[in-house]
Amino acid sequence: MGALAKILTLCCVLGLTLPQTLAEKDWWRTAQLYQIYPRSFKDSDGDGVGDLNGVTQQLAYLKEIGITATWLSPIFTSPMADFGYDVANLTEIDPLFGTMEDFDALVARAKQLDIKIILDFVPNHTSDECDWFIRSAAGEEEYKDFYVWHTGKVVNGIRQPPTSWISVFRGATWTWHEGRQAYYLHQFLPKQPDLNYRNPKVVEAMKDVLRFWLRKGASGFRIDAVPHVFEVAADEDGNWPDEPRNEGVDDPEDYEYFQHIYTTNQPETIDLVYQFRKVIEEIDEELGGDDRILLSEAYAPLDILMQYYGNSTHNGSHVPFNFELLANIDFDSDAYHYAQLIHNWLDNLPEGQVANWVLGNHDRSRIGSRLGADRIDATNMLILGLPGIAVNYQGEEIGMTDVFISWSDTVDPQACQSNEQEFERLTRDPVRTPFQWSDEQSGGFSDSATTWLPLADDYKLVNVKRERGIPLSHLNIHKQLRALRDEPTYKQGDVTIQAIGPNVLAFKRSLAGQKSYITVINLNDDVESVNLDTIFTSISSQLQYVVVNDKSVRRKNDLTYANSVLLMPKEAVVLSTV
Ligand code: NOJ
Ligand code: MG
C-alpha cells in the first residue's frame, strides 16, 4: 500500500477527515473517467457533428453521473482522414469542433464543476498536411529527419519499399513521395506519416506540445497508439529487417499477416513514456494544483504494460489502460475466465500503483453488442466496483449498442481500406454513432435531421431523458454504483474475486471497520443459488441488497441469507453486510 493510501486508511479508521489538498491531489487513484468522442457527443451548432460547445453544454450531465475526469478523442486541426487521429496542427482546435476560445470556455466551466479535461495526444504520427511533414518532404534541414524516410531497395531494376511491413489499416507501411523521391513510413494511413523518434528534435517538439496544452489547462493526456511509436533501429547501412509471417493468415494485405516484432513494443517506447511523465511532473511543479495524469493506450503483453507504470527509478503512465477484459472476453466466456483476467491485472500490479478497468472505447464493438445487452449492468458493476480507476466510453452508462451501418454509408478508414466482404469485421463506425440524449429529433444530439453517422434505431428507448425516469435503467444503476464508490470500502478496501462455477462471478470489497460489499453476477440463463458464506470470510449471515438490476425479483434493502443467495438469469446485484 502506498504512503497516501496508508494515511487515508488510518484517518478513515480513526474517523478523521484529511486536509482537502492532500486528499485531492492524487484524485486520479479512485477516478471515474469517461471517454468523450467529440464528433458524436453533442452538436451545438446544427451541422450534424459534435463540437466543444456541445461538450461544455453537457458537462452538467457528466456531473450528474459523477465523472471526475473526461478524456476527449482528438479535437485538433485535422483533414479528418482518421477522424482527428491525423493531426495537422498540434496546438490548434479544428474549426469543426470550435475555436481556442471555446476550448478555454470548456476548461473554465469544467473547473467550476470540478471535472478534469484530459486530451488525446497522438505521438506516433501527424497528418501529411502537418507543416512539419510538408517541410520534411521538401528536405528542409531542420525537418528533414522528422519522419522516417528511405529511398527503398532496387531489385531487378525495380524500386521497392525498404521492408515488407504492413500498416494497421492494411497494405504497405511505405508510401512513395514524388517530391522527396523517397518512401515514408506510416503504421496507419498514408495520410498519417510516422514521426521519427530517433531524432531528438522530434521528442523535444512533442514535449512542447504537452507543455502547451497543460499550460492551457488540460489535466493530462491519453497517449495514442503507444506500441507503434518506435520501429527497430536501422542497421549500419540504414536498413531494417522484414517481420516473420503469422501462419494461418493468408491475406498479404492484412495487418495480422506478419508478427510485429520490429514495429511494435520496442523497448525505447517505455522510456519515452517515462520522459513524457517527467514533462507532466515539471508542469505540476510549475503550475501546482492537483496531479496531472497520463493514460496510455497499448494493446501489449502484460509484462510490457506493467513497465509503463514505471520502475524503481522512473515514474510512467498513471493509467496504462487495462484491456484484459476488453480484448479477451467474448459472449461465451465463463466466470473462471473473467476471474482470471481480473487477477492478471491485480496480481501483476507494481507496488503503489492503481488498477483501472476498461471495457469499451471508440475502436471496439460496444459491450452490449459484444457480450449481450443483458450483461450491460454486470459489466458496469465490474468497471465501477473493482478497486481503482473506472473508465467508461460514452453511452456505456445508458447501454448504447452497435448500430449497423451499410458499406455505402461506411466512413471509417479502417473499413474503407478493405472491401464490402470484410468491412463489418473492421469498421468502427457502429460504436461512434451520435449519443442518445432524448427521444427528440436526432436523439437530442443535434438540431440537424441528418448527422455525420446515422443515429441508432433504438434511440426512443435508450436515451438519457427516458432512463432518468426508470428506476432500474442502466443509467440509474450506473448512478447507484457510482455513489457506492464514495464509500471508504470502495475507495480503499481490498478485493477478493471468485468464480462460483462457470456461470457466477462474485467479488467482495472489504475494509477494516467498514461494511463489506459483495457483487454477484449471473452471466447466464440458469437460475443459480450460491452459498457466499463458504466463499467469503467474515461476512454476516444475512446480507442486504444494495443494488439490484431489472432481472432481480428482490428489491433494494431486502435481506437474504448469505448461504443461499438466489440469482435469476443474468441478474447482477451488489449486497452488503449488515
Ligand atoms: C488508436 C486510436 O484509438 C484509433 O482510433 C486510431 O485510428 C489509431 N490509434 C491511429 O491513431
Ligand atoms: Mg512509429
The answer to whether the CB of 520 falls within 8 A of the CB of 506 is yes
In this structure, are 462 and 531 located in the same domain? Answer: no
In a shared domain, residues 255 and 364: no
Exposure string for 284-298, b = 16+ CB within 10 A, e = fewer: beeeeebbbbbbbbb
199, with CB counted inside 10 A (0-12, 13-18, 19+), is middle
pTM of the model: 0.95
Per-residue pLDDT tens digits for 131-187: 999 999 999 999 999 999 999 999 999 999 999 999 999 999 999 999 999 999 999
- The answer to whether residue 491 scores a pLDDT higher than 90 is yes
C-alpha dist (Å) from residue 149 to 184, 225, 227 = 5, 20, 20
| Cα 38 to averaged position of ligand 1 atoms, centre (Å) | 14
Kindly state whether residue 409 falls inside one of the protein's structural domains: yes
- CATH at residue 509: 2.60.40.1180
Domain that holds residue 185: 125-196+232-265
CATH code (residue 335): 3.20.20.80
Q: Are residues 427 and 504 in the same domain?
A: no
| Residue 255 pLDDT > 80 | yes
* Residue 447: all three cell numbers together: 438540431
Could you write out the DSSP letters of every residue in 105-162? HHHHHHHHTT-EEEEEE--SB--TTSHHHHHHHTT-TTTTTSB-EE--EEETTEEE-S
Mean pLDDT on 376-385: 98
Higher pLDDT, 161 or 20: 161
Q: Which three cell numbers stand for residue 78?
A: 485535422
Q: Answer yes or no: is 98 within a domain.
A: yes
The per-residue pLDDT for 17 is: 46
**Within a domain: residue 183?**
yes
Least confident piece of the model among 114-123, 305-314, 506-515, 531-540: 531-540
For residue 287, is it within any domain? yes
Chosen domain end from 427, 455, 478: 478
Which grid coordinates are listed for 278? 517527467
Of residues 457 and 16, the one with the higher pLDDT is 457
pLDDT band at 24 (very low <50, low <70, confident <90, very high): confident
Looking at 223, 243, 265, which one is the last position of a domain?
Answer: 265
Q: In which element (H, E) is residue 291 found? A: none
- The pLDDT, as a whole number, for residue 538 is 80
- Structural domain includes residue 315: yes
Residue 59 lies in a domain: yes
Q: What share of the chain is helix, strand, coil (3-state, %, to 5)?
A: 30, 20, 50
* Mean per-residue pLDDT of the chain: 95
- Specify the DSSP element, H or E, that contains 500: strand 494-500
Determine whether the shortest distance from the Cβ of 87 to ligand 1 is under 6 A: no
Same domain, 62 and 143: no
Pair (296, 401) in one structural domain: yes
Is residue 101 domain-shared with residue 146, that is, in the same domain? no
Residues 257 and 294 in one domain: no
Residue with the smallest CA separation from ligand 1 atom 6 is 85
Measured from the Cβ of residue 102, the count of other Cβ atoms closer than 10 Å reads 19
pLDDT confidence tier of residue 3, bands split at 50, 70 and 90: very low
The answer to whether the CB of 447 falls within 8 A of the CB of 441 is: yes
pLDDT grade for 537, boundaries at 50, 70 and 90? confident
Spatial distance between the Cα atoms of 375 and 367, rounded to a whole number of angstroms: 8
Residues 245 and 258: beta-carbon distance below 8 Å: yes
Q: Is the CB of 528 under 6 A from ligand 1?
A: no
The residue whose C-alpha atom lies closest to atom 1 belonging to ligand 1 is 225
Q: How far is the CA of 193 from the centre of ligand 2 (A)?
A: 8
Q: Check residue 18 and give its pLDDT.
A: 46
Task: Determine if ligand 1 sits within 6 Å of the CB of residue 188.
Answer: yes
The bound ligand whose nearest atom lies closest to the alpha carbon of 126 is: 1
Residue pLDDT, tens place only, 31-82 = 999 999 999 999 999 999 999 999 999 999 999 999 999 999 999 999 999 9
Q: What is the CATH number of the domain that holds 192?
A: 3.90.400.10
Residue 397 and residue 375 share a domain = yes
Q: Which active-site residues does the annotation give? A: 224, 297
Do 253 and 331 belong to one domain?
Answer: no
Q: How far apart are CA 93 and CA 75, in angstroms?
A: 6
The total domain count for the chain is 3
Are the beta carbons of 408 and 423 closer than 8 angstroms?
A: no
Question: Does residue 1 surpass a pLDDT of 50?
Answer: no
182 and 101 in one domain? no
Instruction: Tell me, yes or no, whether 484 lies in a domain.
Output: no
* 290 within a domain of the structure (yes/no): yes
Most ligand 1 atoms within 8 A of CB, residue of 122, 130, 188, 431 to mutate: 188
451 and 514 belong to one structural domain: no
Looking at 478, 498, 525, the residue that finishes a domain is 478
Kindly state whether residues 426 and 530 are assigned to the same domain: no
Q: Is the pLDDT of residue 466 over 70?
A: yes
Quick: pLDDT tens for 282-339.
999 999 999 999 999 999 999 999 999 999 999 999 999 999 999 999 999 999 999 9
Band the pLDDT of 83: cuts 50, 70, 90: very high
Find out whether the beta carbon of 82 lies less than 6 Å from any atom of ligand 1.
Answer: yes
